[in-house]
């Protein structure tokens, strides 16, 4: 029956409806192989643009981990549609050797969006770019293109282009003005400081965001950390997130210790993740000690202590191990579960006995995190425990096991997850809890498939 279904899906690749072709490709991705690759390559020559684009996207999924190989091939395709989609879908595979062909595509590209995209990718390898072939785009009517050109050439000696760039200091687009100042910063620092400080007081949201973005590239701007940190209190979500992005970009070049308290209280998950990145990049022993004090203080808000354990997990600094071990005796299960996760992130084999003792913990989330940590240290003792949790009738047990199985990522876990999914599918009406379990099973199975694909690609 499965073979018949696959055969029918292959037949649907010839359907005149592009949507049916794309859905068929998506379904066939569960059965990758030479036959699928051959059919997708055949569809690249389709006269229907949407079908050709779907074929590129399908090939991109088949070439996960080998994107550069396929991109190098498709950049020479005679179809501009194929080349444009390949640059977008296979951007993870862009290498220095692709720069000459990207430059050729940039020369032939007429759409502003396409030009902006290619310029953004060229910025990864500025030393390979012939800037005399992009400088004319500073006169583009699209501010994204002008800004991306400036970001690209900012790493270059601007002696030959300084006049061209200086003319954009008063560009009507805030992002272009900011990029121009960034490109000329090292040569005109004293002239720009006061201007940037004034623009950071602007009521214009676009101007403010552009100036905050610029500070992410200027570690020598006066009191740059303080200048950015104050915007973390903004009521404007875009401004707050841009400030977090710029702080994360500065990383270890600034003192991130004063920002740690904000991280522990941050409710916006996106901002919190960005500040975590900052902590990882600038995670000095002082930061570990400061966060450790919060985790180790029984009078602190439990939510802050639980977040502190997550931060220590992200830092993965062995200096935090003593306070993490202390947290295992805490009454709050969120703190204990996050502390177990943090221990697993340390990668210290000497911790395995402690983690093994937590595999049988009565709290499912604690036990599941212990199983993950044991597995990552090379142990298999937690697998039976996860099987028991998965077989439980308690949704908390099942959710913890499903999460852990997805994180461990063994293909052998697909069957028990599929079995649970089948049991849920047999229900006439799903409860909200069952819907949540169903959603998490799909998420875990996607992780297992991705890990399986990565392993196959690396071997």
Q: How far apart are CA 87 and CA 71, in angstroms?
A: 7
* Domain positions in the chain: 1-93, 382-459
In sequence order, the 6+-apart residues with CB closer than 8 A to the CB of 115 are 106, 109, 137, 140, 142, 145, 148
Q: What pTM did the predictor assign?
A: 0.65
Per-residue pLDDT of 241-257, as tens digits, reads: 999 999 988 877 777 77
User: DSSP assignment, residue 81?
Assistant: H
Read off the pLDDT band of 459 (50, 70, 90).
very low
Of 332, 278, 280, 326, nearest in space to 301 by CA: 332
Least confident of 183-187, 373-377, 399-403, 450-454: 450-454
Q: What is the pLDDT of residue 309?
A: 95
Per-residue pLDDT of 339-349, as tens digits, reads: 999 999 998 99
Q: How many CB atoms lie within 10 A of CB 281?
A: 16
Q: Are 104 and 130 in contact (CB under 8 A)?
A: no
Helix, strand, coil percent values for the chain (each to nearest 5): 75, 0, 25
Q: Among residues of the chain, what percentage have pLDDT more than 90?
A: 46
Give the C-alpha distances (Å, rounded to integers) separating 335 from 56, 162, 356, 363. 46, 55, 18, 12
Give the C-alpha distances (Å, rounded to integers) separating 276 from 223, 280, 345, 350. 21, 6, 15, 26
Average pLDDT value for residue range 371-381:
86
Give the C-alpha distances (Å, rounded to integers) separating 384 from 183, 242, 367, 379, 394. 58, 45, 11, 12, 17
Cα-to-chain-centroid distance, residue 334: 25
Of 207, 241, 199, 246, nearest in space to 226 by CA: 246
User: DSSP assignment, residue 257?
Assistant: G
Q: How far apart are CA 7 and CA 11, in angstroms?
A: 6
Res 130 pLDDT > 80:
yes
In CATH terms, are 1-93 and 382-459 the same topology?
Answer: yes
Q: How far apart are CA 395 and CA 406, in angstroms?
A: 16
Average pLDDT value for residue range 61-73:
85
Q: Are 74 and 90 in contact (CB under 8 A)?
A: yes
Q: Are 405 and 386 in contact (CB under 8 A)?
A: yes
Read off the pLDDT band of 380 (50, 70, 90).
confident
Cα-to-chain-centroid distance, residue 401: 25
Range 247-250, long-range pairs (CB < 8 A, 24+ positions): 247/216, 247/274, 247/275, 247/278, 248/216, 248/274, 248/275, 248/277, 248/278, 248/281, 249/216, 249/217, 250/216, 250/219, 250/224, 250/225, 250/278
Q: Are 323 and 296 in contact (CB under 8 A)?
A: yes
Q: How far apart are CA 439 and CA 257, in angstroms?
A: 38
In sequence order, the 6+-apart residues with CB closer than 8 A to the CB of 367 are 358, 359, 360, 361, 382, 385, 389, 400
Of these ranges, 104-118, 274-288, 439-453, the one predicted with the greatest mean pLDDT is 104-118
User: Which architecture does CATH list for 382-459?
Assistant: Alpha Horseshoe (1.25)
Average pLDDT value for residue range 89-112:
90
Query: What is the residue-averaged pLDDT of the chain?
Result: 88
Q: How far apart are CA 411 and CA 429, in angstroms?
A: 30
Of 65, 97, 93, 71, nearest in space to 84 by CA: 71
Q: What are phi and psi of 316, to 5 degrees?
A: 55, 40
Read off the pLDDT band of 52 (50, 70, 90).
very high
Q: What are phi and psi of 266, to 5 degrees?
A: -75, 125
Q: Are 39 and 31 in contact (CB under 8 A)?
A: no
Read off the pLDDT band of 90 (50, 70, 90).
confident
Q: What is the pLDDT of residue 67?
A: 81
Q: Give the domain 1-93 fold.
A: 1.25.10
Q: What is the pLDDT of residue 143?
A: 92
Is the model more confident about 3 or about 151?
151
Per-residue pLDDT of 289-331, as tens digits, reads: 999 999 999 999 999 999 999 999 988 899 999 999 999 999 9
Is 400 in a helix, a strand, or coil?
Answer: helix
Q: What is the pLDDT of residue 283?
A: 59
């Amino acid at each position: 029956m499965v073979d018949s279904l696959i055969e029918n899906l292959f037949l649907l690749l010839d359907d005149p409806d592009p949507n049916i072709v794309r859905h068929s490709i998506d379904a066939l991705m569960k059965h990758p192989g030479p036959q699928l690759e051959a059919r997708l390559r055949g569809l690249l020559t389709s006269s229907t643009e949407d079908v050709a684009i779907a074929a590129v996207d399908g090939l991109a999924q088949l070439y996960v981990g080998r994107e550069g190989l396929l991109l190098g091939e498709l950049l020479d395709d005679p179809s501009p549609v194929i080349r444009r989609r390949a640059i977008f879908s296979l951007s993870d595979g862009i290498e220095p050797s692709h720069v000459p062909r990207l430059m050729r595509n940039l020369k032939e590209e007429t759409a502003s969006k396409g030009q902006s995209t290619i310029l953004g990718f060229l910025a990864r390898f500025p030393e390979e770019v012939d800037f005399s072939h992009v400088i004319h785009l500073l006169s583009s009517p699209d501010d994204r293109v002008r800004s991306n050109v400036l970001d690209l050439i900012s790493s270059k000696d601007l002696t030959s282009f300084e006049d061209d760039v200086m003319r954009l200091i008063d560009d009507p687009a805030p992002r272009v003005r900011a990029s121009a100042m960034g490109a000329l910063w090292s040569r005109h620092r004293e002239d720009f400081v006061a201007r940037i400080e004034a623009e950071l007081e602007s009521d214009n949201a676009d101007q403010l965001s552009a100036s905050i973005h610029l500070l992410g590239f200027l570690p020598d701007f006066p009191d740059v950390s303080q200048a950015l940190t104050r915007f973390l209190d903004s009521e404007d979500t875009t401004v707050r997130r841009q400030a977090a992005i710029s702080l994360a970009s500065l990383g270890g070049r600034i003192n991130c210790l004063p920002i740690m308290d904000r991280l522990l209280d941050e409710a916006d998950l996106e901002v919190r993740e960005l500040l975590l990145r900052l902590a990882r990049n600038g995670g000095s022993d002082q930061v570990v000690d400061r966060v450790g004090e919060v985790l180790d203080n029984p009078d602190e808000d439990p939510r802050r202590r639980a977040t502190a354990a997550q931060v220590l997990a992200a830092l993965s600094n062995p200096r935090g191990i003593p306070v993490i071990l202390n947290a295992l005796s805490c009454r709050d299960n969120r703190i204990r579960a996050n502390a177990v996760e943090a221990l697993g992130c340390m990668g210290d084999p000497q911790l395995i006995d402690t983690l093994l003792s937590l595999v049988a913990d009565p709290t499912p989330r604690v036990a599941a995190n212990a199983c993950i940590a044991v597995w990552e240290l090379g142990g298999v003792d937690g697998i039976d425990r996860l099987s028991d949790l998965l077989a439980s009738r308690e949704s908390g047990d099942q959710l913890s096991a499903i999460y852990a199985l997805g994180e461990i990522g063994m293909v052998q876990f697909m069957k028990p997850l599929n079995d649970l999914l089948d049991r849920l599918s047999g229900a006439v009406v799903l409860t909200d809890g069952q819907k949540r379990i169903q959603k998490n099973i799909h998420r875990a199975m996607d992780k297992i498939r991705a890990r399986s694909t990565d392993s196959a690609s690396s071997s």
